[in-house]
A and B are shown apart, each in its own frame.
Chain A
């Protein structure tokens, strides 16, 4: 089966610019997650969707980060404006449903903010 797809794989922007990341989960997976992984740290959950509804966005810096999953399939994560500390790998993951445990990760987008 096809895995979680993400694009772009790499992005370099200057601070105060905007950037968007795209994720396509495994077909049929209702739950989608966005994580931020700063170098040398574990992934940190930013937002969790169940179909097109937000389940948890308590760790999302809402003044600059936004995410949507309009049709309950693909999702986009946006940062506007970016700060230096946003440099990280942004991982998307999906699971079959909210109460199913196994999460499958995409390859990630490495963001560098200069």
Chain B
């Protein structure tokens, strides 16, 4: 089955700096890669996703890149703000069954 690895496990940045979180996956059939943000005690919320027919997607300060050959994808947050502090999870799933596998998460802290 699919195995998703996520790095780093913790990340601390200064407000205004950029943050990058990286994930690798094992199943070449995976074609959907969402990123979820989870604040303490709250539900995971989808912040951005990318499908295998696209190499990059951007939404305001958040962008995701995908390298299908290397089987890795990354989340980029620019101009970080304290409210970006949360745990971020990457995930991967394949068409038809939506059998989502999650990474272990990255705890991002943005210092004001």
Contacts and interface: CB of A to CB of B under 8 A. Distances in A.
Given A42-B89, A42-B105, A98 B98 contact: yes
B86 interface: no
Interface string A46-89: 00100000011010000000000000000000000000000000
Most B-side CB within 10 Å, residue of A48, A55, A56, A103: A103
Contact of B49 (A40, A91, A102, A106): A102
Interface residues of A, number: 25
A50 to B, nearest CB: 9
Interface in B22-76: 32, 34, 36, 42-46, 49, 51
Contacts of B109: none
A99 interface: yes
Contacts of B104: 40-42
A58 B101 CA distance: 13
Contact of B44 (A58, A99, A105): A105
A31 interface: yes
Given A41-B104, A41-B105, A42-B105, A99 B98 contact: yes
A105 B34 CA distance: 13
Interface of B: 1, 4, 6, 32, 34, 36, 42-46, 49, 51, 89, 91, 93, 95-105
Given A56-B99, A103-B98, A107-B43, 20 more contacts: A31-B98, A42-B6, A42-B103, A42-B105, A43-B100, A44-B102, A45-B100, A48-B97, A55-B97, A56-B97, A100-B98, A101-B49, A101-B98, A102-B34, A103-B34, A103-B46, A103-B100, A105-B36, A105-B44, A105-B45
